[in-house]
A = this chain, B = another copy of it.
Amino acid sequence: MINGFAACLVPVGDSVWGICRSTRHCLLEFIHDRLMTDDSRHPDSGDPNVPVPKAVVSRLSLYLRELSQLIRDGRDTTSSTQLGERLGLTDAQIRKDLAYFGQFGYPGIGYRCDELVTEIRRILGTDRDWPVAIIGLGNLGTALIGHRGFAEQGFRVTAAFETDESKVGMTLGGVPVFHIDQLSEIVKKDGIRLGILAVPAKAAQSVAQRLVEADIEGILNFAPVTLSLPPTVSRVAVDLAIELEQLSFAVVNRLKNS
């Protein structure tokens, strides 16, 4: 779409030259991660030193999901207003959220869906494949091995771990089951960085410790306990019973709030 960069330079001041927006998008692919020399940009826009609230990152995933749906529906572009309506958010919030990471839209046009998907994937780190380990093969762990949603976002379960000798050596959904003593070895071999912890509550802390020792960098914890982890290891917790409790509260208090 762009034939040369020189043609796209536009004057923006006495002796300063800027670039038009459509050129910027192409250039970004060139200079991304290498030349962070765009000193003219607002310090809050895409500045890696501004801490990003967790809630913002969480909504980013929603934007990604909705954009993927829009693309499947054949849409080329969308706007913060349209996205907001579909997600129950204000347009201002969506633009503000994206501004933490850079400028991705076109005034008067909106956002190109495919471009924004690419950008959000890059921000979330899902522009690559993540080999993942599942530890614990009870009901939940076994189900997660074949979870379609993981594969669709680039998370590949390459190994499962158990203490139950009767399961070790099996292959479940194409995934080999190892004894947990082989954790370090397999993690190293497969380049696994993320672990999904689906063991009973009583075992969770000690198994988490073993994940840390195996140099796992992030743990998705399904056990209903607060893990004690070094700050070098990231964690996300999902307690399914708590989710139902939140629903219970919402139902019981529905009349009061509406």
Known: A48-B256, A225-B69, A226-B87. A251 touches B147 (CB 8 A): no
Report how many copies the assembly holds.
2
Instruction: Choose one: B125, B149, B219; the contact of A252 (CB below 8 Å).
Output: B125
Known: A149-B224, A257-B51. A123 touches B241 (CB 8 A): no
Residue of B nearest to A121 (CB): B245
Interface centre among A64, A251, A254 (most CB of B within 10 A): A251
Asked if B139 and A251 sit within 8 Å, CB to CB, the answer is no
Asked if A218 and B125 sit within 8 Å, CB to CB, the answer is no
| A232 at the B interface (CB under 8 A) | yes
8 A Cβ contacts from A167-222 to B = 193-194, 196, 217-220
| A: number of interface residues (CB 8 Å) | 71
Known: A62-B226, A87-B226, A258-B231. A152 touches B249 (CB 8 A): no
Asked if B254 and A150 sit within 8 Å, CB to CB, the answer is no
Known: A140-B147, A149-B239, A239-B61. A132 touches B254 (CB 8 A): no
| A92 at the B interface (CB under 8 A) | no
Contacts of A123 in B (CB 8 A): 249
List 16 A–B pairs whose Cβ atoms lie within 8 Å, in order of A's numbering.
A51-B257, A54-B246, A58-B246, A61-B239, A61-B245, A65-B226, A66-B226, A69-B225, A124-B245, A126-B248, A139-B147, A147-B241, A149-B240, A218-B250, A220-B247, A234-B254
Residues of A within 8 A of B (CB): 48-49, 51-52, 54, 57-58, 60-62, 64-66, 69, 86-88, 123-126, 130, 132, 139-140, 142-147, 149-150, 152-153, 155, 193-194, 196, 217-220, 224-226, 231-232, 234-236, 238-254, 256-258
Known: A139-B143, A234-B254. 14 other contacts (CB 8 A): A52-B253, A60-B249, A61-B242, A61-B246, A86-B226, A124-B248, A139-B146, A144-B240, A149-B224, A149-B239, A220-B247, A234-B251, A235-B250, A236-B243
